[in-house]
Amino acid sequence: MVRGDIDETLSLVEDVRERAQPRPQLYVVFDAARPLAPTSRHSLEAIDEVTIGRGTAASATRRDRVLDLRRIDRWMSSVHVRLRRNGAGFQIEDGGSKNGTLVNGTRTSEALLQDGDVIGVGQTLLLFRDRVPTSVRAPLDVDTSELQPRVAALATLSPELGVMFDALIAVGSSAVPVLVYGETGTGKEGIARAVHALSHRKGPCVAVNCGALPTALVASELFGYRAGAFSGATEDRPGLARSADGGTLFLDEIGDLPEVAQTALLRVLQEREVLPLGATRAIPIDLRVVAATHRDLAAAVAKGTFRADLFARLRGFTARLPPLRERREDFGLIVAAVLRRHAPDEGEHVTFTSTAARALIEHPWPHNIRELERRLVTAVALARGTPIERDQLFEEPDEIPAEPAAADGADAGDRDALVAALLATGGNIVQTARRLGTHPRQVYRWIDRHAISLAELRTRR
């Protein structure tokens, strides 16, 4: 050991600088005319003025405390709007533009920006945040085209969420169990599959919706059974846990798992073996567990409805996914991913009216990304190549078409026909609806009713 390691007093200055500090940020969140275009984040720290206008390419140039942002937007003027530092905040001033500047949907010539204000410039929407916890090491300008996460689901413009995703990547290649908290529909299964991809495990990622398993069948579904174990058991079944051998078992809505199954699952995790119903000898398995829930498991443990020892086994690393309404910074990134995944043929040609684009950003999204997927796919089908209107995104419940008869025999009870159509189309909801002669929204209803995992189906194609 070097003597200086003992005698010298270490400095805390560097540690303090590394901590995230609240800094103003400006986000380019959505382009209504080019929804697949990259979005970006720009630090306003040490910036006194921002100019925003039309350019031949998207760019961000900094010089003498001035930030110049250029966007490929034909509805923008060359110098459309300026943001000027005003004390601790920023003042927005329209630059005499042809199409005007909107703040939260209201045409504005001059205003003091508030945290969370949405700025409409041409066909582009920007988001102003005045106190975003950001590390001093974070780049001043970030474009989503430059983000290269090892797994696409872990891309984000949020500095806070980025820190969590980086930690997830760090534990991804280990055997550490992961527990994901988040509201229903926030993309917890996407995180589980990202962890599986990072682990490089050769086995599959098997998703289990614990809340959808009938109580009487939980044990047989999870752990399998031998022929003759019970009435109707005519053949051996491996169960979902053994199906994930060598891979990852994703236990979605783990908080809904019945207590008797919690005990059996704990034994599997402790002993690394499964005892199928009707068997006399346990079978060794090698799997990694990722669990997810929208419930407060710590509170469930305190109430006695969830086993404390199982909770301890599951929470090796805890990730918390914010709801979609709190991820407006990533809205363009998420919309582009949904369009590429669910409407790959139409996505390149999809456009939105400016009113529809603002409605997307302003909607509270109570059902999160799952609701966004449903509304976008439906709107793409209704628009038929024309710009998507607000009413096509947000139909009232009484405007939803009645459930039509399905051409290929798929109805609310025909799960096999629905799965076959989804497999044939690679999980494309619009194409599946056309194949079944129904409405895309009805396809989503059936998917929810039968607890079908689209991500899992796509891997089977």
Residue 174 and residue 158: Cα distance in Å, rounded?
25
- Paired tokens of 386: 């024309």
Cα torsion 211, 215, 221, 222: sign: positive
Specify the pLDDT at position 403. 43
Specify the pLDDT at position 7. 52
Residue 252: alpha-carbon gap to chain centroid: 15
Q: Nearest-CA neighbor of 315 among 176, 429, 190?
A: 176
Neighbouring C-alpha atoms within 13 Å toward the C-beta of 23: 24
- Point out the residues of the chain with pLDDT beneath 70: 1-18, 226, 228-229, 232-234, 396-413, 430, 454-461
Specify the pLDDT at position 34. 96
What is the per-residue pLDDT across 200-220, written as a single tens digit (0 to 9) for each?
A: 999 999 998 888 777 777 777
Residues in contact with 144: Cβ distance below 8 Å, sequence separation at least 6, in sequence order: 38, 39, 40, 155, 157, 332, 333
Specify the pLDDT at position 226. 67
Looking at the chain, which residues constitute the CATH 3.40.50.300 domain(s)? 177-315
Q: Per CATH, the architecture of 23-140 is what?
A: Sandwich (2.60)
Specify the pLDDT at position 234. 67
CB atoms within 10 A of CB 417: 17
Looking at the chain, which residues constitute the CATH 2.60.200.20 domain(s)? 23-140
Specify the pLDDT at position 211. 81
Return the SS3 of 252. Answer: strand
What is the per-residue pLDDT across 402-415, written as a single tens digit (0 to 9) for each?
A: 444 443 444 444 77
Cα torsion 268, 271, 273, 275: sign: negative
Specify the pLDDT at position 10. 47
Name residue 62's amino acid: R
Residue 164 and residue 172: Cα distance in Å, rounded?
12
Q: What is the CATH number of domain 177-315?
A: 3.40.50.300
297 secondary structure, DSSP code: H
